[in-house]
Amino acid sequence: MKSAISKLAILTLLSVMAIFTNISATHAASVSPKAWAAYKDAFLDSGGRIIDTGNGNISHSEGQGYGMWLAVLADDLSDFELIWSFTRTELLVRDDGLSAWKWDPRTKPHVTDINNATDGDILIAYALALAAGQWNRQDYAEAAAAIASAVLKKTVVQRGGRTLLLPAASGFDEADRTDGPVVNPSYLIFEAFPVLDLLVPSPLWKTVADDGVAQIAAFAFSDKKLPADWVSVKTKPQPASGFPPEFGYNAVRIPLYLARAKMGSPELLSRLKDGMTLESGAAGTFDLKTGAVKDVLSDPGYRIIPALAACVSGGPAISDDLKTFQPTLYYPSTLHLLALSFLARNNGECR
């Protein structure tokens, strides 16, 4: 068995390297050394922990995955290994290959909720897969394959002819909730699925992506025609009970993921852009029962998302003021760098 796993890992490593090379020669350096240095000075501690400065200085699997991904995009192996070391030591503490979702410096033990967050696991696996190809590391490919396999086994389900990505291994299916299954459309990191399919081949990766785009298109709530952060798909889609019925901080990244993966129609991207943009040009979060604005998101890391959605769907180019990176809080700064890396990979263009 050990020999078979080793041969499989070698084959998947070669496949990941090939797809990574084919993306573009500049992909690996699409986050500039200056931007990465500013980001890690603001959010990366000496132990490899990405600090969520807008959320009590906790760390979580999402943040660790983002940090690993950005380290790959900055072509910084030492920082990647530092972040991965903390992640595998402190968060990969479940017995099924998935990560605990939250690490809190104020509690002992630091992990008090063992449930996972599926987007964090996907981000970690994707970053490991890219790192395997970029730095010729079989151990990263094997780790990515193990996490990807656990994601498929524990969080990808087929219900009513649809393939769904559950937000966690427990708490969101019909056995857990009266309105289950419940999904979070912002957990669909579309560009990761073809790469994870190389590691753990399955037709489910394509169907979860295709069905995910269709779901987002169908999640058009209130006069804003926007998806909610948490959606019940038990029958007709509707905002899930027990969660604020809002287009919130989760959902703001949906157009970014669609744009980076070059998925979603121009009409869908335009609809999302129109719905999330205020008259001032800032982005917003919205109550999807009333359509009222909840928060004005003026940080450039948020404003660049509808601008990118507009640009990739045939609208105006992104303004120069959004192309300069300066760290603010962890979350919008992360989204900002991912948007800028997409532009850098495309020589400053959206298409």
The DSSP result for 248-315, as a single string, is -TTGGGHHHHHHHHT-S-HHHHHHHHHHHB-TTS-EEEEETTT--EEEEE-SHHHHHHHHHHHHHTT-
What pLDDT, in 10s, does the model give residues 39-60? 999 999 999 999 999 999 999 9
Q: Is the dihedral of CA 7, 12, 212, 333 positive or negative?
A: positive
Separation between Cα atoms, residue 316 and residue 342, nearest integer Å:
16
The yes-or-no verdict on residue 1 having pLDDT over 50 is no
Catalytic annotation on 191? Answer: no
- Looking at residue 4, its pLDDT comes to 40
Q: Which residue has the tokens 């990118």?
A: 308
- Across 27-31, 40-44, 68-72, least confident range: 27-31
Residues of the chain with pLDDT > 70, as a percent, come to: 92
Q: What is the pLDDT of residues 134-182, one digit of tens each?
A: 999 999 999 999 999 999 999 999 998 999 999 999 999 999 999 999 9
Alpha-carbon gap, residue 336 to 330, rounded angstroms: 10
What confidence tens digit (pLDDT) does each residue in 297-335 have?
999 999 999 999 999 999 999 999 999 999 999 999 999
- State both tokens at 266: 């121009």
Assess whether pLDDT exceeds 90 at residue 69.
yes
Banded model confidence at residue 25, pLDDT cuts 50, 70, 90: very low
> Which positions ≥6 away from 245 have C-beta within 8 Å?
221, 228, 239, 287, 288, 289
Backbone angles phi, psi at 59, to 5 degrees: -125, 155
Q: Which pLDDT band, with edges at 50, 70 and 90, does 10 fall under?
A: low
Between 349 and 37, whose confidence is greater? 37
CA-wise closest residue to 286 among 329, 231, 332, 228: 228
The pLDDT of residue 16: 53
Q: Inform me whether the pLDDT recorded for 17 exceeds 80.
A: no
C-alpha 219/C-alpha 28 separation (Å) is: 34
H or E segment at 80? helix 77-90
Q: What tens digit of pLDDT does each residue of 104-145 get?
A: 999 999 999 999 999 999 999 999 999 999 999 999 999 999
More confident residue, 111 or 23: 111
Q: Is 316 helix (H, G, I), strand (E, B) or coil?
A: coil
142 is catalytic: no
The Cα 117–Cα 104 span in angstroms is 15
* Structure tokens that stand for 341 in this block: 């890396």
Q: pLDDT at position 21, please?
A: 52
Confidence band for 29, pLDDT divided at 50, 70 and 90: confident
Is residue 2 scored above 50 in pLDDT?
Answer: no
Extract the runs of DSSP E, i.e. beta strands, from the chain.
59-60, 102-103, 156-159, 162-165, 182-183, 231-232, 238-239, 246-247, 283-287, 293-297
Q: What is the pLDDT of residue 323?
A: 95
Q: Which of 52, 76, 90, 119 is catalytic?
A: 119
**Which residues touch 109 (CB under 8 Å, ≥6 apart)?**
none
Cβ neighbours for 242, distance < 8 A, ≥ 6 positions apart: none
* Burial class of residue 184 in the structure, from the number of CB atoms within 10 Å of its CB (0-12 exposed, 13-18 middle, 19+ buried): buried
Choice among 52, 62, 142, 197 that is catalytic: 62
pLDDT, mean of residues 205-231 = 98
